Amino acid sequence: MAANLIDGRAIAEEIHRETAARVAALAARGATPGLAFVRVGDDPASKVYVGMKERACQRLGIRSTTLILAESTSEAEVLALIGRLNADPAVHGILVQAPLPRAICSARVFASVAPGKDVDGFHPVNVGKLMLGDPGGFVPCTPAGIHQLLIRAGVPLAGAEVVILGRGNIVGKPMAAILIQKAPDADATVTVCHSRTRDLAAHCRRADILIAAMGVREFVRADMVKPGAAVIDVGVNRVPDPAAKGGSRLVGDVDFEGVRAVAGHLTPNPGGVGPMTIAMLMRNTVQAAEMQS
């Protein structure tokens, strides 16, 4: 039997409707959520991602501003801009689009965003709140979106064996922190695997929930998946394809066709995690506006 596909686009739409209602409630109080995007350089993927986020803002009634800086911009100039945005009461959320030029320290830049405006959830204060189970902070958008996918797809979390492939600061570590909390829609037993993990396939085969965020094309095969498991594919890998527009296409970290025959739930890629990241960014921005208003 083929896996039940978790439709990230449909669930994202559900969250957008909830967010729009909160925007309307703020509007009734005379407040409009404001989100500032900071983009440094001309990375093509960054242009696309910011454009998608801008359109989501426009659709939901969130005021957005995009500030584009040259590749040669110094770190001091970026920090000065963020300082001005931190002080602007019309800006409730700030998102610094990654990647930044190599000459700029990403950690220092992310830490310069005021914690109450850090809608990406990367500031050390928000990272700490997530680890402590404090709901007063912001959770990084991609793991927060994955969490919602699992909840709204009806995948049991309490007591579940979860294996996360990848220990990155954007997905792997915060995902583990979300799921190990002693809290509703958590209480899972979590294993985080990485490039130095021994017998990684054996870890995968015992997982009730397998989250692949390694950045390795179609790494997870059917023989690595426990029958009936929920598999979440976070990977974004561009591969050559002469038949595709532009000569390439995107594939995930999961062998979709092979795993589909084994898994109980599976996210498509695209159409799974991606739309949820934007939905959670919009939700975080509205939360920031509510807190500041």
Return the active site residues. 53, 97, 120
In sequence order, the β-bridge partners of residue 190 are 162
Q: Which residue reads 């800006």 in tokens?
A: 91
Assess contact for 151 and 157: CB atoms under 8 A.
Answer: yes
Produce one character per residue of 163-190: b if its CB has 16 or more CB atoms within 10 Å, e if not: bbbbbbebbbbbbbbbbbbeeeebebeb
Phi then psi dihedrals of residue 202, to 5 deg: -65, -40
Assess contact for 200 and 166: CB atoms under 8 A.
Answer: no
Q: Amino acid letter at 123?
A: H
CA distance 66 to 222: 43
Q: How far apart are the first and last CA of the chain?
A: 50
CA distance 67 to 144: 26
